[in-house]
Structure 1
Amino acid sequence: MTTVTNPSPPASTSPAEAESTERRPPVPYWRRHLRADGTWKPLVGKNGPPGEELADLRSGLGQPAGSVIALWPYYAAETDGELTPELVAEHGALTLYGLHQQSQKRPMHKKGVNLGAALRRLRDSEKFLDSALDRRVETAATTTSVPALLYRLRGLVTQLRGQAIPLDYDQLARDLRQWSQAERRQWVRRRWALAYYTRGEQNGADQGPADDSGATGAGTPAPGARGASSGA
């Protein structure tokens, strides 16, 4: 007589494994409607995120993180109510993205284009007087607080939008997170300056630490980057 043995059921997933599988890191809003190749997801259509959502993001311009109810559904940073550097940085990046993506059909988030490289492309467009743009960039770079930096960046992002020049909002959020710490702020300034004052696509990529684990220098600023690398 042949004995038939039922196959053993698959091993159950431990609570820890189940949690790690179910809890994936939340996706920042500027990537929420994008496919892996950087194009819009089919359900979004040609014109990108809904205009009312972008308007919600813009409503937070100049306002403290967490203070505008309309923005609450768009935050990905985890917090128990405390204004963490991560939440403050994400708030700033969200509001600028809402401004940048307004009326744009192409995505204004593009991986690998840091702020300095995006502004360099703006300078190369020859739509603005070089000396005037240089002053605006240096004025932004020599701020010492996140609110002051965001205020200065609003005008520059508006100019980027006018020329449909994208930037990497993942990187911008990381830069904003480091801005309140003097040593790391200096590193971010140097990286922006090197990308802004040097021609070439290679300057758009992030160079050096991308998180808050430490901030080593990325070299000395290119000639002419006096404001972007000096202390405030």
Structure 2
Amino acid sequence: MTQPSVPPSGGPLWKSVARTVDKLQRDYLNNPYGRDGSDARAALAELRKASAFEPADNPMGLQKIIGLLNPPLNEDFMGRGEKPSASEVALYRSLSLFGVHMQSAKKPMHTSDVSFAQACGQLMPRTDSKSFKHRFDALQLATDDASRAVHLRSLVSLLRSYELAFDYGRFSEDLRALVNPNRKPGVLLRWGRDFARGARQLYDAQPPEDLDTTTNTN
């Protein structure tokens, strides 16, 4: 039985997203044949469907995602005009990708212990390192939110295949910060460090003779 993640120490968006996905995965994994599990499966299916659309082009999907949040999104983060706010786009991206991540999952895909980039780093030694590093680099170099979303879906699908979890609350905060030119460099710097840290963890945990020395960790 999965246990609740440690409550996050971030801001309102972080907490709202983290607690929402934490409950969804507990209901999905712990009570698959009960009412809560059925509701969670339906919600995750809706989230997966939303991941194929842009938030501005999917107002019904955005409405459903906002409605899923528990606790609700703080009014200060809600949009006021005819376009989604940066916070609404970030929660849409993070929750819809969580739906992709949880497809057929047998274990939690949200954890408060590992960041998104760190999980990507942990994956690199397990797969084709050159190909995967190129994918992560393409994400880092993405110049707009829509192209970044394409790379994120590809990476999250790979993380799902290898059952590697990360903190969706922290992830949502990062996605919101990436659209701010003043904050973007700091997020990308931290992602680069976390990626390198995650890639080293597997190597540090194994004796040298157990490692594939042909794997490129650069």
Q: What TM-score, normalized to structure 1?
A: 0.65
Distance 1:52 1:116, change over 3 A: same
Kept in 1: contact 2:115–2:170 (CA 8 A): yes
Q: Which runs of 5+ in 2 are unaligned?
A: 1-11, 203-216
Query: Could you tell me how far apart the structure 1 residues matched to 2:164 and 2:112 are?
Result: 12
Kept in 1: contact 2:94–2:171 (CA 8 A): yes
More off after superposition, 51-60 vs 95-104: 51-60
Query: Could you tell me how far apart the structure 2 residues matched to 1:30 and 1:139 are?
Result: 26
SS at match of 2:131: helix
SS at match of 2:114: coil
Kept in 2: contact 1:100–1:161 (CA 8 A): yes
Query: Could you tell me how far apart the structure 2 residues matched to 1:105 and 1:113 are?
Result: 18
SS at match of 2:22: coil
Match of 1:74 in 2: 65
Distance 1:57 1:28, change over 3 A: farther
Say whether residues 1:156 and 2:147 are aligned partners: no
SS at match of 1:167: coil
Q: Deviations over 1:79-123 (max 9, x none)?
A: 255311110110110111010011112221111311110001111
Say whether residues 1:64 and 2:64 are aligned partners: no
Q: Which runs of 5+ in 1 are unaligned?
A: 1-24, 202-222, 225-232
Distance 1:42 1:100, change over 3 A: closer
Q: What TM-score, normalized to structure 2?
A: 0.69
Q: Deviations over 1:157-191 (max 9, x none)?
A: 00000011001101110011011122311111111
Query: Could you tell me how far apart the structure 1 residues matched to 2:140 and 2:160 are?
Result: 19
Query: How many angstroms does 1:31 deviate by?
Result: 2.7
Query: How many angstroms does 1:33 deviate by?
Result: 6.2
Match of 1:111 in 2: 112
Higher Cα Rg: structure 1 or 2?
A: 1
Kept in 2: contact 1:117–1:196 (CA 8 A): yes
Kept in 2: contact 1:57–1:71 (CA 8 A): no
Match of 1:165 in 2: 164
Structure 1 vs Structure 2: percent identity of aligned residues?
Answer: 25
**More relative contact order, 1 or 2 (CA 8 Å, 6+ apart):** 2
From the two aligned structures, give the one with the greater helix fraction: 2
More off after superposition, 89-98 vs 39-48: 39-48
Total equivalences in the alignment: 175
Query: Could you tell me how far apart the structure 1 residues matched to 2:28 and 2:154 are?
Result: 32
**Quick one: which amino acid aligns to residue 178 of structure 1?**
A
Query: Could you tell me how far apart the structure 1 residues matched to 2:155 and 2:143 are?
Result: 17
Query: Could you tell me how far apart the structure 1 residues matched to 2:194 and 2:32 are?
Result: 31
**Quick one: which amino acid aligns to residue 184 of structure 2?**
R
Kept in 2: contact 1:30–1:94 (CA 8 A): no
**Quick one: which amino acid aligns to residue 65 of structure 1?**
P
Match of 1:178 in 2: 177
**Quick one: which amino acid aligns to residue 91 of structure 2?**
E
SS at match of 2:113: coil
Say whether residues 1:132 and 2:95 are aligned partners: no
Distance 1:33 1:188, change over 3 A: closer
Kept in 2: contact 1:46–1:105 (CA 8 A): no
Q: Deviations over 1:48-102 (max 9, x none)?
A: 6632211111121242326242442331434255311110110110111010011
CA RMSD of aligned residues (A): 2.9
